[in-house]
Amino acid sequence: MFKMLMVGCLMLPMFSFATELTSLKEDGIHDVNGGGFSMLQEPKEAMGDFPRRTDGTVDWVKALDQKLISPRSNKVGDGKMTSVNLELVLTNTGSMDHVLFSHKVHTQILTCANCHIDIFLPKQGANFISMNNIMAGEQCGVCHGAVAFAVQDCSQCHNVPSKKGSLR
Amino acid sequence: MFKALLAVLLVSSVFSFTFAEEKSASQDANIANKLAHQVSDFVELKAKSDYEKKLKSIQGLLSAHKRITELNSDLDKELRLQEKVKPVLDQSKKLAKEHAFKEAKHVLDDAYFAIVNSIKSQRTGQTLVRSLDFATEKEAYEYELGRYENYKMLINMMIDERHAFARDARTKPFFDEEDRYHVQAETLAKKGQYGEATLLIEKASKTLVNLLRDSGVYIPGV
């Protein structure tokens, strides 16, 4: 699985990820023989008309803009969503461009507690993010590659030109 | 689902009793009782885990708030907020000790939003440049070594498994160069010269990136 992700990461033109919304029968998560299975809504029914990114995955930011989704801060929906307009430029990117992380985009869909502190510490220089971890489903990979766009297109995240021009 | 099963078992136990099937009724009642306990245990465990997650999150955000506040001009206001949150955390811990996890989490919710809103008001519109805080040069070297190995593994797979390109005259100079840097870096690292080793392993990674670019893979950067 890890190997597949690794290859998928940089070989989009040759090998792309599955872009169709997988049916519940085939997703390997749901128990087809379970009593309540027939009551579950198929992803295609719920998200079939959602805007897509160029790789075919759902574009959650556009879906939010088009008011197709209305994120809740908790299951019951009695909490408040708090969007934080703070941007971080992450510079330990080797010879690649730096990463721009937008809190605004993420907190329109998630609450702070979704990431802090289980996934990322809210502390400067303390989160040793690596592509290895991301592709193994940790750190950003908890969502990206699972429910949000995968790491196929480097420039989605590595989009701030490095001032040094090359090395760290 | 559980509720329906419980109801069936309870009704069945009552009917069984009516028809003098005492043994069966008692068995059904036992199962129903067991299931009821399991459900209540599950609900409590979930409430406990939700509470603990929220508490951990608040504690993390509170320490972030303290760090941010130190740089803020309106220090008094923010310190007052921190003071206000303290008894709320204590109250929630007290409730959690009494196993009232749902109530404990509910108490935390207001504190959570107060902290988040305060961080929001202090940080809004900012763009911060962040780099990793390595404790030692060795740690920095290991981080860069991880990046190098990641590129190496990717290239090996693209060649050996996907046959996207080959080890040929075009790719050989890249492999030779990255290997030279890698060997030098390892040698220096063994001697404990991690600072210089890091620079070399970065050069090795850069060579691998160039190999990928030369092979037609777009990688942002220069």
Average pLDDT of the residues in A25-49: 91
Q: Give the closest-approach CA distance of B210 to chain A in angstroms.
A: 10
Instruction: Please report which confidence band the pLDDT of residue A16 belongs to, taking 50, 70 and 90 as the band edges.
Output: very low
**Within the 156-215 window of chain B, which residues sit less than 8 Å (CB to CB) from chain A?**
157-158, 161-162, 164, 199, 202-203, 205-206, 209, 212
Residue among B57, B66, B69, B149 with most chain A CBs within 10 A, to mutate: B57
More confident residue, B51 or A77: B51
Interface touch A116/B146, C-beta < 8 Å = no
The mean pLDDT value for A153-167 works out to 78
Tally Cβ neighbours within 10 Å of residue A99: 20
pLDDT at res. B21: 63
Q: How far is CA B60 from the centre of its chain?
A: 13
Among A6, A82, A127, whose Cβ lies nearest the Cβ of B120?
A: A82
What's the rounded Cα separation, in Å, for the pair A125 and B129?
Answer: 10
* Strand arrangement, sheet containing A86-90: A158-160, A98-102, A86-90, B126-130
What are the residue ranges spanned by the domains of chain A? 2-160
> From the CA of B199, how many Å to the nearest CA of chain A?
8
Going by pLDDT thresholds of 50, 70 and 90, the confidence category of residue B183 is very high
* Residues of A with Cβ-Cβ distance to B161 under 8 angstroms: 3, 7
pLDDT in tens, B12-48: 544 554 555 666 777 888 888 877 777 778 888 999 9
Q: Which of B207, B160, B212 is nearest to B180 (CA)?
A: B207
* Residues on chain B touching A35 (C-beta within 8 angstroms): 1
Question: What is the rounded average pLDDT of the residues A136-160?
Answer: 91
Determine contact, residues A57/A19, Cβ cutoff 8 Å: yes
Residue A144, min C-alpha distance to chain B (Å): 18
A130 contacts chain B (CB < 8 A): yes
pLDDT tens profile B69-85: 887 767 788 888 888 99
Integer Cα distance of B221 and A165 in angstroms: 7
Instruction: Calculate the average pLDDT of chain B.
Output: 87
Non-local (6+) Cβ contacts of B35 within 8 A are B2, B5, B6, B9
Which residues of chain B neighbour A103 with C-beta distances below 8 Å? 123
Report the CATH architecture of A2-160. Answer: Alpha-Beta Complex (3.90)
Determine what percent of chain A is predicted with pLDDT higher than 90. 55
Residues A130 and B150 sit within 8 Å (Cβ to Cβ): yes
Six-digit token string for A128 = 């040793």
What are the boundaries of each domain within chain B? Answer: 2-123, 137-214
d(CA B151, CA B92): 48
Residue A6 predicted with pLDDT over 70: no
pLDDT over 70 (residue B165): yes
B119 touches chain A (CB under 8 A): yes
Residue A9 has pLDDT above 80, yes or no: no
Q: Does A80 touch chain B (CB under 8 A)?
A: yes
Q: Write down the ipTM of this complex.
A: 0.77
At residue A164, the pLDDT reads: 61
**Measured distance between the N- and C-terminal CA atoms of chain A, rounded to whole angstroms:** 30
- Name the burial class of residue B210, with classes exposed (0-12), middle (13-18) and buried (19+) by CB atoms within 10 angstroms of its CB: middle
Q: What is the pLDDT at residue B4?
A: 55
What pLDDT, in 10s, does the model give residues A128-142?
Answer: 999 989 989 999 999
Instruction: List the single residue in A with minimal CA-CA distance to B158.
Output: A7
Span A5-15, average pLDDT? 41
- Which chain B residues touch A96 with a CB distance below 8 Å? 209, 219-221
Q: Which segment, A119-128, A145-154, B187-196, is predicted with the most confidence on average?
A: B187-196
Contact A95 B199 (CB under 8 A): no
Chain A residues with CB-CB distance to B149 below 8 A: 132
Global model pTM greater than 0.80: no
Q: What mean pLDDT is predicted for residues B2-21?
A: 52
Which pair of structure tokens corresponds to residue A18? 């599955």
Q: Model confidence over B79-115: pLDDT tens digits?
A: 888 889 999 999 999 999 999 999 999 999 889 989 9
